[in-house]
Structure 1
Amino acid sequence: MWNLNKDSFNRSSILHNGLYGVIILKAKPSDSTSQKITVKERLIRLQDLLKKYTDEDNELTLKQILDKFYEEYDVNVGIKAIRSDLKELEESKLFDVTINQEKDGVEKYYSHQNRLFEIYELRMLIDAVSAAKFISKAETENLISKIEKLTSENQAKQLKNRILVSESVKSEDHKIKYTIHELHTAISNSQIIQFKYGKYDLNKKFQFNRNGEFYRVKPYALVWNNDYYYLIGEYLPNTEIRHYRVDRMRDVTSCNETFVCDPFFNITKYTEKLFHMYSGEESLIEIEFDAHLINVVIDRFGREVAVRPIGEDTFRISTQAIISDGLVRWLLTWGSDAKVLTPLSLVERMREESEKFYKKYH
């Protein structure tokens, strides 16, 4: 005699004796063995099942919904009750239920299709999380698994094809998410913060600046630049604008002191003038570029930048920028295809850096 449980034959038991066999199919377990749920619980679980298993391309019949209830929750529900619940959800307009009877003209098929995010939007979120260097590998996988739950199981399979990022560029700091949260809170509440700041040495050991003394800063904004988070704030007591890489900040805490932001400081316009997040003095610059760099210039300065063609092979731009090592290094990227015309202080810095570069190879 074999006695197979519901897990092995989907709620079926087979009894066999000698040459004769009797098959007893149990469509549902008795009420004494199944869980009881309230009407509210049933409605909530019905919505969860539709979210998880249905979408534009996947639908369920009433019978399949009953089967899912048993498979997921070990709960028996009546077909009339589920039909009533589906009708109530449809009429309430609070939860999208799409009914399709055109499939075979007889049976109705139910699905949930109106979701908060389109599949391409979820893919962009996953790619952004995957590419972010400041998010650890473990946290990346955790966030992606949560994003996948924002759509059905079948559509989530389409999200498995994500961009490839080297694991070596991912942060090893598992506490950075708490640092970011602390900074956002301080910015929202206009609270002065304190923190330790440092960087890695040649032995790949993290060393604190200023012997581990705390920095005190008025936090203005968090900026995402070159796949890193930066804090832009006013350093105290010097009241100068500085930038700090968030992954290099430690022991970030908010103080009880509050501050008033400078109403004339525009963080968006300020960041547009930065190069590689280096701070410095703002000045009007004029640069001459070879014609093939026009798209590079538009990518960096935007389509609003003033461009003046000089013949067919070159053009000039005039714009406000922060004079810094970041700007110098960005310009050196383009070699002789870029030439600074003004200001003279920047011309001199480019000349000095070019001479250093030349001597490096001679």
Structure 2
Amino acid sequence: MTPPAPPAFPMHVSVDEARAHLGALLPERTAETVPVADAAGRTLASDLLALVSHPSATESALDGIAAREADTLTATATTPVRLRVVGESRAGVPFTGRVEAGECVRIYTGAPLPPGADAICPVEQLDEERPEDGGEHVLLRRPASPADVRPEGGDFRTGEVVMRAGQRLTAPRLALAAALGHAQVPVRRRLRVALLSTGDEVVPPGQPLLAGQVYDSNSVGLHAMLRECDCDVVPLGHAPDSPQALQAAIDRAGGADVLLTSGGVSMGKYDFMRDLLIEQGRVSFWKVRMRPGGPAILGGWNGLPVFGLPGNPVSSLVVFQVIVRPALTGQPPQTLRLRAATPFRALGDRAAFWRGVIEGGSVRDYGQQGSGVLRSLSDADALVVVPQGQAVQAGDDVDVILL
């Protein structure tokens, strides 16, 4: 009997190889410019330079008086120092004169420090004095401090590279971009990712469940993760276990940069997504040396890259976190090196990504590591990376991927 021919595509690739294969099929993230107010969640396409310095002038960090530190060094609550008030400086309206010996200027938070002054005394440490001659004075109950002066350019200076390409534009980063002087920012074009869940047993949440059916948690979780990756999601809904239905659904993904599916990629009789890619499409690899999530498949359909995730929800979401997210964002997984509080077992033929709980600078085994325990991904803080054949003992240092 003639043995079966070996597959014409790689089998059982490593996690790193899987990321590289998927990344190679994705289009280049070209840049576009958008208003800074509309850039929330986008990915910065190029470095941002400061167009101005911040602060733009040496200024006060609080409300009080600006004075010469040397004039105030003897001030205490019992023997205050008396200074003559010669004006005020407020944000947008600076004092135009100069502070001389024995003088001070009322100053407010963010206001420019007047020439001659080099220190601030807060208003809480001042007593007012208005003599009969009409002159205005204040009594300082403590010395004025240079520590309450913000130097010009202390935050950033004109021309300085302050933000780097690849950063996700969070609310604080958008505020920073605006402070740098940018009304518009260059961002990476969003990838269009079509999303399809499969399986006769899968039904939308909210409908009554019949015997053997499960709610479609994959599409909900994957949709949210894709949005976190700054992708535009093209929802294709759900397709039953039928080659014809799958083909029709895939054909609706026109215009997408990549199709992400869940289910139908393992070894079963009804894993038709696998069959379609092998028999009528193109396969870059099938199966990854990892657990959970080993049956993942990458291929193409009429020029459209297709990444097939396992149907099991835990496996599907873990494969996304470990392989798909880094490929989509161009960023490696966010990892920490922690002390293992409990042992984590190794697998002889694949890397393991066990769910863990971070407590006080160490990580412990979540306990329930079955790929059907979806609750574990909600309760866990991290995926503990256990390399192939390298068990982790309590007390060892271990890499974890933050969830």
TM-score normalised by the chain length of structure 1:
0.23
TM-score normalised by the chain length of structure 2:
0.21
Relative contact order higher in (CA < 8 Å, ≥ 6 apart): 2
Return the structure number with greater helix share. 1
Return the structure number with greater strand share. 2
